[in-house]
Amino acid sequence: MEELLERLLEECRPFTGKGRVADYIPELAKGDPDALGIYVIGSEGKHAWAGDCRRPFTIQSVVKPILLLQALLDNGAEFVTRRVGVEATGKPFDAINAGDQALDSGNINPMVNMGAIVMCSLIYGRSYDERFQRLLELTRRLAGDGEIGVDEAVYRSEKSHGSKNRALAYLLKFHGLLEDDVEEVLDCYFRACSIQADCRALAHIGAVLSNRGRLPASNERVFPAAMSRYVNAVLMTCGMYDGSGEFALRVGVPAKSGVGGGIMAVVPTRMGIGIFGPALDRKGNSVAGIRLLERLSQELYLSIF
Amino acid sequence: MEELLERLLEECRPFTGKGRVADYIPELAKGDPDALGIYVIGSEGKHAWAGDCRRPFTIQSVVKPILLLQALLDNGAEFVTRRVGVEATGKPFDAINAGDQALDSGNINPMVNMGAIVMCSLIYGRSYDERFQRLLELTRRLAGDGEIGVDEAVYRSEKSHGSKNRALAYLLKFHGLLEDDVEEVLDCYFRACSIQADCRALAHIGAVLSNRGRLPASNERVFPAAMSRYVNAVLMTCGMYDGSGEFALRVGVPAKSGVGGGIMAVVPTRMGIGIFGPALDRKGNSVAGIRLLERLSQELYLSIF
Amino acid sequence: MEELLERLLEECRPFTGKGRVADYIPELAKGDPDALGIYVIGSEGKHAWAGDCRRPFTIQSVVKPILLLQALLDNGAEFVTRRVGVEATGKPFDAINAGDQALDSGNINPMVNMGAIVMCSLIYGRSYDERFQRLLELTRRLAGDGEIGVDEAVYRSEKSHGSKNRALAYLLKFHGLLEDDVEEVLDCYFRACSIQADCRALAHIGAVLSNRGRLPASNERVFPAAMSRYVNAVLMTCGMYDGSGEFALRVGVPAKSGVGGGIMAVVPTRMGIGIFGPALDRKGNSVAGIRLLERLSQELYLSIF
Amino acid sequence: MEELLERLLEECRPFTGKGRVADYIPELAKGDPDALGIYVIGSEGKHAWAGDCRRPFTIQSVVKPILLLQALLDNGAEFVTRRVGVEATGKPFDAINAGDQALDSGNINPMVNMGAIVMCSLIYGRSYDERFQRLLELTRRLAGDGEIGVDEAVYRSEKSHGSKNRALAYLLKFHGLLEDDVEEVLDCYFRACSIQADCRALAHIGAVLSNRGRLPASNERVFPAAMSRYVNAVLMTCGMYDGSGEFALRVGVPAKSGVGGGIMAVVPTRMGIGIFGPALDRKGNSVAGIRLLERLSQELYLSIF
């Protein structure tokens, strides 16, 4: 396996030149466009890796499935579905009109920013500090890494360049879909996006989702199997922004990308995969990362279709 | 299996009362709202059924994956992807603005009407009559039923109430995405939607898609495995209109519904399923049919997630 | 007056270089980009002119206020207002979504194509031939020119490149806002847009509208004063496509432009003005023509504000 | 004149029953739905009135033309036009997508909330307190009433229920159209909307605009004539929200309405009119107020068309 990963990584590395590092906040613009790493954890617990797989980066939107899991654990599927819905929006992740119909129909996808902000408000806790701590604990457990923390520089950068997210949150509040103080909710959201991880952590999270909610090695249950089906289904239809359809064709597994360059992929019953490649395509997905997953899918017949 | 199907069908039959028969064209409004049927064909060729599974109905949008297959067979995946794209639109299937961004970006989903109309124009043939005959031949082969034909009354009804589809087609022509005569292309499209099938036929089509392009019993190849992955992936993200996300959660398999009450579901490597239940929910999907698939998925662990 | 017109025309002629001749149909692309003409008719009947003021061109959208007048004469203001409404759309004249809210609210502006197509269907007549003849008669009377006819080459060009208008018309039909055969209605619309006029004709039409519905010299009444207020008000808010706001600021009088290069302006109680200048800005208005009207407005204090 | 006003007011009073008092903030919901008043000030300085014409109310959106004047005085027409544009949006005044095209094209109408918020940021001043004081001074001068102040209860109510306006402001900031601190700008905007006036004050403002920028009695100049043409033109095309087209037909003069029930109308060269009638139609305009203006326009031939 390691040999295969090394070979494919070298084959795909030139694709890093086809993308650009995210620059909507200054801190992210500092990313290394040439970096590329992959880490694979089998459902039964075997590890394999190649490239820059232990380099830290902020998970950004990869936190969305974790937010969804925490919201599901705290409120149950029925409540969450009624609050954020599950249909694709057909719009960019931060579109102010992602919710045109959605705001009326009460259907805001949990994989776009509006839905993720609502999910922050659904996490239980007496304060937003407590809510974030609970989310961080879940992240650490899913990632198999108790050391995981927040990249403070990115967090501050997100917070001071967060006008679009503030617009989205106030729009939610206007429509009665957000009750708490906007700045408090967003602070939790900005912290969540700034959690620092590496390929290994993402692979571990994917492995739990592939293993129906149980940790890969110990088989200890973190969440019910039904919730992993819920999250995987949502990732399949909208995990890769408005490139989700093409990703389903080319790779064929549930996955979530972040503008920090990370991709967390789930191969149901088989494995979790973590990718790092900060050079992004125009939709916000790692160019070389998707290519690497496509090649791996071809070689190992990973597509679930 | 038959016993299970009988039991679930009786359990789900009351759900027929929660929907309404499509009435946008007079002929469809004549459908029996209480009807419900299911047919299952395993990838290896075993059959099972229950209820109104041999009652004929028009396949309507279930023809879209067949149109896609014919377009793929005639032009290859790269060309088709460039012409119709694969991203979810987040809009109703006949939305005039389904293509707002799409028409600019050249990305029109093959599961919404605009994309399906483009696919009619991609089928090879010296005339639209020949194109339709080739589509009909493919449908018969996939359905394992050489007798399949067109419901002439529905076809005439579609054709004389087709203003919305004409608007969509002329919009495509204006944007340079349709070169042929609009009425000729639409005649082919209206015929395609009016093809008459039953649950058995849909189950057979699903079985070929589940069997990676080979006929269930004989294992004879109809199309390459890569094309079944292509079609299944598209069905997963947008086969059930703007209820695709919820269907992925509740059932978890690629499927396509039609306003005639049919659903064609694909359980990769395992089986194809045909459903008939003309009482539809507000999104245009069979109410009792979805419930029946959800229950079957729970009982037989069909979800691919 | 003539001296002033000559002077301003020479001053504004360089602006012709800032625009482009319409080329959405081949016939229009043949227009002379350097042409510029102006014709003024006082409400009491005095004529003055300069430049290419007798060169023939197709009136295109300048026919919209005439269509509106004919619809008002045949149906009364209350009925017409209910069918096409009067609010600005904030969208380009041929936008497929000009009617997003409009189609629901029954409010389609008569100055955008959708509204103009509806108005063709509101004209009285046993056939669309008769309807068009009645419209042509009204145009001749308003223009003070019994020889006015159709430019057959432009008409055929419009008809064979009319996909966008067909899309708009079928959308209207789908929403129940157009009952007649789409091709018949559009044939009338295409003929109407292809009526051939010159600056003198447009000035004469404007003079009737400025003179509260009476012919400038004879004072003979063509339509009631209330209808001239209706048409002038509609022109003020949306006569210059999505450049109407800026035109109100810079010139300050009701006016209608066409992609053939014509502008018909109404200075209430004072005069009608006809302009010809086929080099258009991006919004479809004559660049030099608007500049000429702006200068004339400054010199003669024409703004009604 | 007074007799005519009394007669028309009694005739129109029943129309108050056709509307509803604004209730988007609690303070406004306390308005008296049966109130109706009118005040007229001729350009030369004569006063006439009827009904509840000295009852105080908050001017709300009627402050928008004053904001526009202050922005024009501080920056000149060219700069302001480039920043907020002048085209109708075809959308409700607080639509989050009022700026879909606008935000790209840099064209946000000064009569919708987004445009008005931008104008607050264009007023000169070392602090937002100073900016608001300058606006208040201009308002007092235009209104001929040095006592005019802010309704503190409405201001606090606006501020604590301002989620939609916050969403609009952060969206502007995201698009680089607002540089200052959002809460500071909005505080100025909320104060501006909460300025307390009566019919007399609005009539006086209208009289200055009708008198080309000079005070009605003294003829003292407050702003250049070109600015009154600018403001009147903008009011004509979009002063009455998305009822501006119908208002142009029925009344035919530039005007601005506010959800507090006020209307400020300008009859160029003749008079200014102030209306108070808090029962609003669905578009946010005073029902009885518009009817009263329509009747007055018919009786006194006020339409400028």
Q: Name the residue with higher pLDDT: C253 or C94.
A: C253
Nearest-Cα distance to chain A for D162, in Å, is: 8
CA C273 – CA C265 distance, rounded (Å): 5
pLDDT confidence bin for B217, thresholds 50/70/90: confident
Q: Among partner residues D167, D173, D174, which is closest to A171 by beta-carbon distance?
A: D167
Residue numbers in D near A96 (CB within 8 A): 96-97, 171
CB pairs under 8 A between A and D: 44
pLDDT confidence bin for B102, thresholds 50/70/90: low
pLDDT at D102: 57
Q: Name the residue with higher pLDDT: A209 or C84.
A: A209
Q: Among partner residues D81, D242, D252, which is closest to C229 by beta-carbon distance?
A: D252
Inter-chain touch D85–C245, beta carbons under 8 Å: yes
Of D12, D16, D9, the closest CA to residue D48 belongs to D9
Nearest-Cα distance to chain C for D101, in Å, is: 9
Q: Using CB atoms, which chains have 3+ pairs under 8 A with C? A: B, D
Across the range D33-51, mean pLDDT stands at 95
For this structure, is B234 an active site residue?
A: no
Residue of B nearest to A268 (CA): B305
Least confident of A73-77, B267-271, C111-115: C111-115
What φ, ψ does residue A73 adopt, rounded to 5°?
Answer: -60, -35
Question: Is D100's pLDDT higher than 60?
Answer: no
Q: Which residues pair with A93 in a beta bridge?
A: none
pLDDT at A30: 85
Determine contact, residues D265/D273, Cβ cutoff 8 Å. Answer: yes
Across the range B220-244, mean pLDDT stands at 94
Determine contact, residues A192/A259, Cβ cutoff 8 Å. Answer: no
Q: Write down the pTM of the prediction.
A: 0.93
Inter-chain touch B86–A246, beta carbons under 8 Å: yes
Across the range A198-213, mean pLDDT stands at 98
The pLDDT > 70 percentage for chain C reads 94
Determine contact, residues A259/A7, Cβ cutoff 8 Å. Answer: no
User: Does chain D touch chain B (at least 3 C-beta pairs within 8 Å)?
Assistant: no
pLDDT at B203: 98
Question: Is A101's pLDDT higher than 60?
Answer: no
Q: CB-based contact (8 Å) between A89 and chain B? A: yes
The ipTM, to two decimals, is 0.93
> Which residues, at least 6 apart from D78, have a Cβ–Cβ distance to it below 8 Å?
none
pLDDT digits (tens, 9 = 90+) for B250-281: 999 999 999 999 999 999 999 999 999 999 99
Nearest-Cα distance to chain D for A24, in Å, is: 11
DSSP states of D147-184:
T--B-HHHHHHHHHT-HHHHHHHHHHHHTTS--S-HHH
Across the range D46-56, mean pLDDT stands at 95
- C-alpha distance from residue B46 to each of B273, C241, D275 (Å): 12, 64, 80
Catalytic residues of A: 61, 64, 189, 241, 259
> Which residues, at least 6 apart from C304, have a Cβ–Cβ distance to it below 8 Å?
C252, C253, C267, C268, D268, D304, D305
DSSP states of A100-118:
HHHHHHT---TTSHHHHHH
User: Does chain D touch chain C (at least 3 C-beta pairs within 8 Å)?
Assistant: yes
Least confident of A128-137, B255-264, C99-108: C99-108
Q: Name the residue with higher pLDDT: B94 or C290.
A: C290
pLDDT digits (tens, 9 = 90+) for A159-191: 999 999 999 999 999 988 999 999 999 999 999
Mean predicted lDDT score pLDDT of chain D: 93
pLDDT confidence bin for B219, thresholds 50/70/90: very high
- C-alpha distance from residue D220 to each of D43, D141, D142, D227 (Å): 12, 11, 11, 15
Q: Which tokens belong to D232?
A: 């009147």
pLDDT digits (tens, 9 = 90+) for D199-213: 999 999 999 999 999
Nearest-Cα distance to chain B for A193, in Å, is: 24
Q: CB-based contact (8 Å) between D164 and chain A? A: yes
Inter-chain touch C174–B182, beta carbons under 8 Å: no
For this structure, is B61 an active site residue?
A: yes
Across the range B25-34, mean pLDDT stands at 87
Residue of A nearest to B77 (CA): A249
pLDDT digits (tens, 9 = 90+) for D136-193: 999 999 999 999 999 999 999 999 999 999 999 999 999 889 999 999 999 999 999 9
User: Does chain B touch chain A (at least 3 C-beta pairs within 8 Å)?
Assistant: yes
Q: CB-based contact (8 Å) between B167 and chain A? A: no
Q: Using CB atoms, which chains have 3+ pairs under 8 A with A? A: B, D
pLDDT at A105: 60
Least confident of B185-189, C163-167, D92-96: D92-96
Q: Among partner residues B100, B163, B169, which is closest to C174 by beta-carbon distance?
A: B163
Q: Among partner residues C81, C236, C303, which is closest to D229 by beta-carbon distance?
A: C303
Q: CB-based contact (8 Å) between D136 and chain A? A: no
Question: Is B164's pLDDT higher than 70?
Answer: yes
Residue numbers in A near B109 (CB within 8 A): 245
The pLDDT > 90 percentage for chain B reads 81
Inter-chain touch D170–A163, beta carbons under 8 Å: yes
Residue of A nearest to B237 (CA): A237
Across the range D14-37, mean pLDDT stands at 90
pLDDT at A103: 63
Domains of chain D as residue ranges with CATH: 2-60+196-298 (3.40.710.10), 78-193 (1.10.1500.10)
Helix (H) and strand (E) counts in chain A: 13, 7
pLDDT at D93: 67
Instruction: Give me the amino acid identity at A284.
Output: G
Q: CB-based contact (8 Å) between A14 and chain B? A: no
Q: Using CB atoms, which chains have 3+ pairs under 8 A with D? A: A, C
Q: Which residues of B225-256 are buried (b: 16+ CB within 10 A; e: fewer)?
A: eebbbbbbbbbbbbbbbbbbbbbbbbbbbbbb
Residue numbers in C near D304 (CB within 8 A): 268, 304-305
Q: What is the number of alpha carbons within 13 Å of residue B85 lying toward its C-beta?
A: 22
